[in-house]
Amino acid sequence: MANHLSESLPERTFQHQSSLPPLPVPSLESSLLKYLDAVHPFASEKEFKATVDIVRKFQEGVGKELHKKLLQRAKTKKNWLEEWWLDTAYLEVRIPSQLNVNFGGPAPYLEHSWPPAEGVYLQRASMSTWYTLQYWNLIRTERLAPQKAGKTALDMDQFRMLFCTCKVPGVKKDTIRNYFKTESEGPCPSHLVVMCRGRIFTFDALCDGQILTPPELLRQLSYVKERCEAEPEGDGVAVLTSEERTRWAKAREHLISIDPHNKTILETIQSSLFVISLDETKPYSTAENYTNMTMEALTGDPTIRWGDKSYNSLVFSDGTFGSNCDVSLFVCLENVQDCKSPKGSDAVRPIPLPEEMVFTVDEKIRSDISLAKHHYLESDLQIVCYAFTAFGKELIKQKKLHPDTFVQLAMQLAYYRMHKKPGSCYETAMTRKFYHGRTETMRPCTQEAVNWCTAMMDPTCDVSMYACGRGKIDGRSLCLFHMGHDRFSPRLMPRGKPCCWPSINTTN
């Protein structure tokens, strides 16, 4: 009876965390073979032979000792890579995060607020904020269904980093402050931070334990906007988050030393659910061209984004949205629905107005702010961002191709056509089947991909199938796919088809 009852209850967001398997350590041999495969397309015959010799010496020498230490580490840590990856890839990096590490662009629910519409952007902002808060509540109450690959549960730990999380600069290494708690774990911060014209405000997103309604959120955002339009601009302390990490860390330490209240303000920003940036720009875009919007999201006004926050919701004055997020926290907002006003009362309860938070600054901080703006504005970033609408993944699947394979090969071919050589490329792989699994690296520029690109560029190439006598796997014939000029790629034939098909002639 108890088992039947537990099976009938919905799964909680984090209920599988303790039962996820540890991250395995791949064999030394397989890792080195993958490395050689990744190097092969870019090395000459002489260079590749030298690389093979180096790898062999490593495998037979220091590699053995290092691998033993790695296996020993894996015995004491359920995820032996997690700490190293976070430190090396994100927290120890000293270059400015906002322009070099963060990711940003059009918001994922952009199509629901299209076309742009001036004069209603605060209404749209209140609705999108309301839906985002619903998502926070799903995670906090663990009603967001755990994600799975088939029936295999995936790690959900990164979902704890979506809200109430911030990176804090250090002189040598940054740290991550996470204030989020599920309902069963205890109280969780519920306040928002709004930035506008270099000024910073905060208000609670809950009233009597309930999320503010869109009309109530609109009242709060309108108050901030009206204050900022009627009064002088703020000091723009937020721009310091765009600085080189050590400089920002030292400026932060000085900021705290000036006035203890500055530390309270920093804590309020760090622990907030997320930041809403009221941006006065109008990034002209069309339904297919998001270039200007993406540029503004990545390089826009640094005085109204807190570059270390897990999520900055950018509200442009033309009624469109963008986002800028610290990548070390790996934000992925989904299930944010159509930005139409939910049914409910238009009444606004007597909730406290937003409170402005004003840093105490001195000449040194003003100088640091001015220098940070200079460094930020001198960046040279070139972007082209279009939505490809000619066809999508459904058509690709109809052609019996995987959409990711299709896109990766398309990028390789485009690079090959432009530069007449293969392009070194990184693609993220998922390790979320394991405890605290996050990402790994794939190298999609394989020798087979290069062979395919050269065949596509060769007007004399005939693509044909022929009997190769390679045997069978699981009852299916294994054939070589002839790429022309003695280039071949293995292909497993459909069940029941012989190894030799009639020739197929195609054009480029």
* pLDDT, block means (10 residues), the chain with 508 residues: 50 96 96 94 95 96 97 97 94 94 80 74 94 96 96 96 97 97 98 98 97 97 98 98 98 98 98 98 83 93 97 93 80 47 77 98 98 94 89 92 93 96 92 94 91 88 49 44 42 48 33
Q: What is the pLDDT of residue 13?
A: 97
In whole angstroms, what is the distance from residue 423 CA to residue 408 CA? 11
Q: What is the pLDDT of residue 340?
A: 54
In whole angstroms, what is the distance from residue 290 CA to residue 504 CA? 40
Q: What is the pLDDT of residue 480?
A: 44
DSSP class of 91: I
Q: What is the pLDDT of residue 110?
A: 64
Distances (CA, A) of 39 to 28, 46, 49, 279: 17, 13, 11, 45
Q: What is the pLDDT of residue 342?
A: 64
Q: What is the pTM of this model?
A: 0.86
Identify any residues that bridge with 476 across adjacent strands, giving them in sequence order: 473
Q: What is the pLDDT of residue 481?
A: 44
Ranges assigned E (strand) in 28-147? 103-106
Distances (CA, A) of 177 to 9, 156, 163, 270, 424: 33, 18, 11, 7, 35
Distance, CA of 482 to chain centre: 38
Residue 104 has phi, psi (to 5 degrees) of: -165, 170
CATH number at 13-86: 1.10.275.20
- Domain 102-140+158-377: which CATH class? alpha beta
In whole angstroms, what is the distance from residue 479 CA to residue 468 CA? 6
Q: What is the pLDDT of residue 463?
A: 58
